[in-house]
Amino acid sequence: MPTSGLPFKGQSCDSGPVRTISARSLALLLGSGPLPRPAYRGLADGIRRLVSDGRLLVGTRLPSERTLTTELGLSRTTVGAALDALRDEGFVATRRGSGSVVCLPAGPSGLALSQAGLIPTDVPPDVIDLTYAALPAAAGVTAAYERSLLELPRFLATAGYDPRGLAETRAAVAAWFEDRGLPTSPDQVVITSGAHGGLSAVLRSQLEIGDRILVESPTYPNALVGVRRSAYRAVPAQLTATGWDVEAIEVGLRQSGARAAYLIPDHQNPTGLVMDAPTRQALAGVLARANTVPVVDETFVELGLEDETTTSRPSPFAASSPAAHTLGSAGKTWWGGLRVGWVRAPRGGAEAVIEARHSLDLGTAVLEQLVVTDLLRQGESLLTERRREARSRRDALVTALRQHVPDWRLTVPSGGLNLWCELPEARGDELARVAESAGVRLARGGQFGVEGGFTRWVRVPFCVAPDEADEVGRRLATAWQLALGERPTTRDVTPLIA
Ligand SMILES: Cc1ncc(COP(=O)(O)O)c(C=O)c1O
């Protein structure tokens, strides 16, 4: 077997525990049709595509050349040449005695460039920023601030530090969970600096440096950054086109011994998938048996867009999982600038979260907690309008994309704020790189993957106003042409009229 000194500089192959794939499973992933000629190139392209799509995970050990030869009905020379090509491109590393392992090459689609999270930075005025999924403030937020200002003097005589959160805010969050059928005491609730602050505190309360955490792939990039920066090790749980593969997760837990699992069951970011009720129950059982703590992110739960009300959606994950820590947020429901979120801890579990929080921050702003209390108490009245607004943005953007980039494949999500689009070619990195010259800023698909990859995917949040959607579609079409290396004949970009 040819060997090389790989992994070479920048190449990323190690993602924790060793995974293997059988020749049979690899053949199934490659599909049953004949390979494009020459066959070695067809096989190499097929495997590279599986890596780019995130279906073949980095770190997976490939079957031996001999078993692949038998299973695929190809000659040993063809299989050997395909692996040689993949080694040359950096998608496979081979070590004598331990076989060939799937890698990502250094460079634009490699891990080094997929570490960054999504943090809004200054955007030139003529560029439309599609890197983050958040709407402008909901109707009713200003009025809630005005009412809360009248409440504030009650608190000005106190020190103002309260790492647990205001009693009335915790009670309002607990009542919101109760309305969703999940008995919750205010003592289980900690008010945090957004769901992100809640995630950091929960992980710190549950994990030690070096511990493994199961993470959906693709997932929310800032969560991945938090996991990596805290030196926990992310173990990918590949999402399928329809959602969560409970059996594969069970195997992943057994192999990795992950102590926690970060899940987004409601309008998953970026795919928009919703975990159905039987899967919630099955997964909760698997996690309980593995002694793995579910950390459930419900940031998008209120943004079900198909005439959904609080009672018409699947029960909260925690209803099937007494050990779950649930993260919530005011950020998508009402406004990201509130920077208010919450943790619903298991019974008796809030103290550990509060203690862990001390190394992160010392509490959440009082005025904003009052605003969120006010908004929570208004219940469905504001949410109906919020969902209508998000729905009209989604529908306008879907129409624009179907018109301007008809070969991008997208499934219209039933909620959340994201379109997860499959590109006809694995040129997502190029797309993100050139997008700004076409007047849009995009996140790379690789930012959503535990090990990068996802170069066939792009996330387009539907947060622009409906009357900007057509312009976004045009700019994305221009960017896509640039990414394909086909310079458009004219730069068909008109300035955005706000
Ligand atoms: C899945 C998910 N969790 C958490 C957050 C962060 O929420 P917050 O603004 O409440 O910190 C986001 C923001 O985009 C998100 O998409």
Residue 228 lies in a domain: yes
Residues 350 and 232 in one domain: yes
% of the chain with per-residue pLDDT over 90: 70
The 8-class DSSP code of residue 259 comes to: S
pLDDT digit string, tens, across residues 438-483: 999 999 898 999 888 899 999 999 999 999 999 999 999 999 999 9
Last residue of a domain, one of 331, 354, 378: 378
Residues 330 and 368 in one domain: yes
Residue 344 reports pLDDT greater than 80? yes
Ligand 1 in reach of 133 Cβ (< 6 A): yes
Residues 149 and 273 in one domain: yes
Residues 158 and 271 in one domain: yes
Pairing of strands 260-263, 325-329: unpaired
pLDDT digit string, tens, across residues 118-171: 555 677 889 999 998 999 999 899 999 999 999 999 999 999 999 999 999 999
Give pLDDT, residue 173. 98
Sign of CA dihedral 418, 423, 429, 431: negative
Give pLDDT, residue 492. 41
What the block records as the tokens of 486 is 């086909």
Residue 117 lies in a domain: no
- Ligand 1 pocket test, pick from 299, 325, 338 with the greatest ligand atom count within 8 Å of Cβ, gives 299
Last residue of a domain, one of 50, 80, 107: 107
- Look up the domain containing 322 and give its range: 142-378
Residues 36 and 69 in one domain: yes
Last residue of a domain, one of 347, 378, 409: 378
What the block records as the tokens of 11 is 């190449």
Angle at 146 between CA 144 and CA 148, to 5 degrees: 65
Give pLDDT, residue 119. 57
Give pLDDT, residue 33. 78
CATH number, domain containing residue 412 = 3.90.1150.10
Give pLDDT, residue 487. 53
CATH number, domain containing residue 92 = 1.10.10.10
**Residue nearest to ligand 1 atom 10, measured at CA:** 194
Residues 183 and 281 in one domain: yes
The number of C-alpha atoms within 13 Å of 215 and in the hemisphere containing its C-beta is 30
Residue 497 reports pLDDT greater than 50? no
Sign of CA dihedral 403, 409, 412, 418: negative
The three-state secondary structure class of 342 is strand
Residue 497 lies in a domain: no
C-alpha 261/C-alpha 471 separation (Å) is 39
Before 270, cis peptide (omega within 30)?
Answer: yes
Residue 421's DSSP bridge partners are 458
SS3 content of the chain, % helix, strand, coil (to 5): 40, 15, 45
Residue 6 lies in a domain: no
Question: 35-49, 169-183, 245-259: lowest mean pLDDT where?
Answer: 35-49
C-alpha 412/C-alpha 401 separation (Å) is 11
Q: How many domains does the chain have?
A: 3
Question: 61-75, 194-208, 387-401: lowest mean pLDDT where?
Answer: 61-75
Residues 314 and 249 in one domain: yes
Nearest residue to 321 via CA among 359, 275, 353? 275
Crossing angle between the packed helical segments 221-229 and 194-206, to the nearest 10 degrees: 40
Give pLDDT, residue 3. 35
Ligand 1 in reach of 416 Cβ (< 6 A): no
Residues 343 and 401 in one domain: no
C-alpha 295/C-alpha 227 separation (Å) is 12
Ligand 1 in reach of 194 Cβ (< 6 A): yes
With b meaning 16 or more CB within 10 Å and e meaning fewer, what string describes 371-394? bbbbbbeeeeebbeebbebbbebb
Give pLDDT, residue 50. 81
Q: How far is the CA of 143 from the centre of ligand 1 (A)?
A: 24
Ligand 1 in reach of 333 Cβ (< 6 A): no
Distances (CA, A) of 444 to 144, 401, 418, 453, 459: 36, 18, 14, 9, 8
% of the chain with per-residue pLDDT over 70: 89
Residue corresponding to tokens 């020459």: 38
Residues 244 and 269 in one domain: yes
pLDDT digit string, tens, across residues 287-309: 999 999 999 999 999 999 997 66
Residues 217 and 328 in one domain: yes
Residue 495 reports pLDDT greater than 70? no
Residue 122 lies in a domain: no
Number of the ligand 1 atom closest to the C-alpha atom of 264 = 1
CATH number, domain containing residue 293 = 3.40.640.10
Residue 342 lies in a domain: yes
Give pLDDT, residue 58. 76
Question: 32-36, 79-83, 110-114, 327-331: lowest mean pLDDT where?
Answer: 110-114
Ligand 1 in reach of 105 Cβ (< 6 A): no
What the block records as the tokens of 355 is 């203690």
Residue 248 reports pLDDT greater than 80? yes
Q: How far is the CA of 388 from the centre of ligand 1 (A)?
A: 21
Do residues 106 and 93 make contact, with C-beta atoms less than 8 angstroms apart? Answer: no
Give pLDDT, residue 200. 97
Residue 183 reports pLDDT greater than 80? yes
Give pLDDT, residue 489. 44
Ligand 1 in reach of 264 Cβ (< 6 A): yes
Residue 491 reports pLDDT greater than 90? no
Q: Is 12 exposed, middle or buried (0-12, 13-18, 19+ CB in 10 A)?
A: buried
In this prediction, residue 18 has a pLDDT band, given cuts at 50, 70 and 90, of low
Residue 306 lies in a domain: yes
Average pLDDT over residues 72-76: 90
Give pLDDT, residue 404. 98
Q: How far is the CA of 195 from the centre of ligand 1 (A)?
A: 6
Ligand 1 in reach of 443 Cβ (< 6 A): no
Residues 153 and 29 in one domain: no
Name every residue whose Cβ is closer than 8 Å to that of residue 351 and which is 6 or more positions away in sequence.
Answer: none
Per DSSP (E only), the strands in 218-324 are 233-238, 260-263, 293-297
Q: How far is the CA of 217 from the centre of ligand 1 (A)?
A: 16
Residues 159 and 270 in one domain: yes
Name every residue whose Cβ is closer than 8 Å to that of residue 183 and which is 6 or more positions away in sequence.
Answer: 177
Name every residue whose Cβ is closer than 8 Å to that of residue 357 and which is 6 or more positions away in sequence.
Answer: 163, 190, 192, 197, 201, 204
State the amino acid at position 275 in one-letter form.
M
Name every residue whose Cβ is closer than 8 Å to that of residue 246 and which is 6 or more positions away in sequence.
Answer: 279, 282, 283, 286
Residue 85 lies in a domain: yes
Average pLDDT over residues 233-253: 95
Give pLDDT, residue 34. 79
Instruction: Indicate the length of the chain as a whole number.
Output: 498
What is the overall mean pLDDT for the chain? 89
Q: How far is the CA of 372 from the centre of ligand 1 (A)?
A: 16
Average pLDDT over residues 29-33: 82
